[in-house]
Structure 1
């Protein structure tokens, strides 16, 4: 299979996961870029940031039309993550490949475990604590910049429990936060020597966006918990393989 065709197919599958599952779907992008498309870990995280930015911005538009984005709240949360995202992105470009792979494997495993853990989809909002909110925003920015993942599986619970948003508003607002953090991290990596393979990334992004629309329809036909369990198991296997590769 040619690299172009593989990029198209892989992008469609990632988009399908993003559309069906929302937060957490983009975690598969980095291992797909490394093990299927031949990217180095550093190049894969940069490419993933481009993919995450494009897909998140597209999804943000649809949520904004539906009135599910709290712009002021999201902007303040995202502002706390801009500097950490830039610092983390700069650091990631200079780390050994094995360390970056191991760190990503750990985050992928965390995402999978959070998906497997049952919880209240719309808990009662808590009182907002500015320091805690700023800390959560900074942490999410660092994860996005360092590993090239959107971090929706971390952002949505934080927006619900810390900022008191209802679930639909949290999902929409998280897309604003992820888009801003991804753009900040990309800006930091613009001055590095990490190559950007647009011939592979562009078709990947295109089919990922199209796949996300089909993912929404898939989510309507299959129960959310069942989809999350399947995806979480796949993610745990990927995390284990990446961890083994890091210490090989």
Structure 2
């Protein structure tokens, strides 16, 4: 199992570092179907793997100036309540129901990533520069000057991402990236880099919510997987600056659909 954890961790870290979101969603099915973990241990272990890997990938993006720390921290903190609730709900759901729902989530993520890649193809090369409002604050302290609809969008989105993180044990970057682009006007490279900070905050809060609930992780397996994923994430940060994002996104979308169909084929029959 340890030998298998290395290439799997590298692949997931690579996708997380290169795409900034979506890559972490493969961690749970990999732990369950390839490394023999039970569903609850997999969703908990995934939070540790994803959180540490996101922090490692964050460094490369930060060096390139693609991380907005203040906005990322605010977005992550706003999602803590959602991640706590999601963690509590996850403990009460039967494993096969959780996996079936997870397969549906993966298909949704694949659709979002496919739509994003099509949108990017029709966006002018200088569009991101024209709309980069990433240096604006997320929320304004003065109530009379607060953009309330914008603040509400950020709050709702951050809470929803936290809920997904706690419930499924995923980073939620697939939702964070478009949210940062749409709600805060971030350019795509900045959204990708900042999403890793949000993922790390959400993962840490969800992991703390699950602490002390009878979980007994295989620390050697998780440590090996995490180390490999960290290496992959660092490499992914370099790949992101050299390979067209659309190419990466399309390839990952196909992989995501295949894994979703496999997960559904294994879990749905158990519910019938």
Taking structure 1 as the reference length, the TM-score comes to 0.91
Alignment of 1:87-236 (within 5 A): 87-117=85-115, 118-120=118-120, 122=128, 124=131, 129-219=150-240, 222-236=243-257
Q: Is the CA contact 1:20–1:218 (under 8 Å) kept in the aligned structure 2?
A: yes
Instruction: Check the 8 A contact 1:12/1:211 in 2, yes or no.
Output: yes
Give the alignment partner of residue 58 of structure 1, picking from 56, 60, 69: 56
Counterpart Cα distance in 2 of 1:91 and 1:192:
13
Match of residue 15, structure 1, among 13, 24, 27:
13
Q: Which ranges in structure 2 are unaligned for 5 or more consecutive residues?
A: 134-146
Segments of 4+ moved more than 4 angstroms: 125-128, 217-222
The change in CA–CA distance for 1:104 and 1:136 in structure 2 (over 3 A counts) is: same
- Of structures 1 and 2, the larger Rg is shown by 2
- Deviation of 1:242 (Å): 1.1
Specify the alignment match of 2:25 in structure 1.
27
| Structure 2 contact 14–233 (Cα < 8 Å) conserved | yes
Contact 1:43-1:196 within 8 A present in 2 as well: yes
User: Which is further off, 230-239 or 181-190?
Assistant: 230-239
TM (norm. structure 2) is 0.84
**Count of paired positions:** 246
- Root-mean-square deviation (Å): 2.0
